[in-house]
């Protein structure tokens, strides 16, 4: 009987620890899915959406990124590969664009594929926010959310998580 109560106590203790950690302890995000046409980004665990965000994209959002400067957000399967705490846009996590296919396509077209595509917060510093001049889609090809959402995103999503981006 004592071992039963010890086991029960351990279960309650573990439950309290996991509850105190909030969503981070409850969710292991398996996939980030971006629907560019709906301007939504979903965090998925198994087959369940556990969180979603409204997003801003590149200023020319429709279609796959082909080259540096086209202001498009890439489409396809990528991975989140680096957190940047020194970003010009609050905090950020990099999408591993360009992949080998992107680089070969750009080379064939005679262009640089570009790079440094991130999910990031809002622009740091004073002055007008870029969206004032460029509208809802104001990035150069990145995916932007607000700073509080970026903090939550980075607490839930780990480096190495796949991201699917589609129109």
Marked catalytic residue, from 14, 64, 129, 142: 142
The CA distance from 81 to 96, in Å, is: 6
Of the candidates 127, 149, 122, 126, the residue with the CA atom closest to the CA atom of residue 42:
149
Q: Is 120 a catalytic residue?
A: yes
Marked catalytic residue, from 27, 64, 120, 129: 120
Cβ neighbours of 16 (radius 10 Å): 10
The CA distance from 105 to 89, in Å, is: 29
List, by residue number, the catalytic residues. 120, 142
């Amino acid at each position: 009987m004592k071992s039963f109560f010890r086991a029960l106590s351990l279960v309650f203790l573990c439950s309290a620890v996991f509850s105190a950690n909030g969503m981070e302890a409850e969710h292991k995000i398996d996939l980030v899915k971006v629907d560019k046409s709906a301007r939504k980004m979903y965090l998925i665990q198994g087959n369940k959406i556990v969180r979603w965000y409204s997003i801003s994209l590149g200023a020319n959002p429709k279609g796959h990124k082909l080259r540096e400067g086209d202001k498009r957000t890439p489409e396809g399967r990528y991975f989140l590969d680096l957190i940047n705490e020194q970003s010009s846009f609050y905090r950020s996590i990099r999408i591993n664009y360009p992949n080998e296919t992107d680089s070969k396509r750009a080379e064939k077209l005679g262009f640089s594929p570009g790079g440094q595509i991130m999910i990031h917060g809002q622009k740091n510093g004073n002055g007008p926010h870029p969206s004032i001049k460029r509208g809802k889609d104001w990035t150069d090809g990145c995916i932007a959310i607000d700073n509080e959402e970026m903090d939550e995103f980075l607490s839930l999503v780990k480096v190495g998580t796949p991201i699917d981006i589609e129109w």
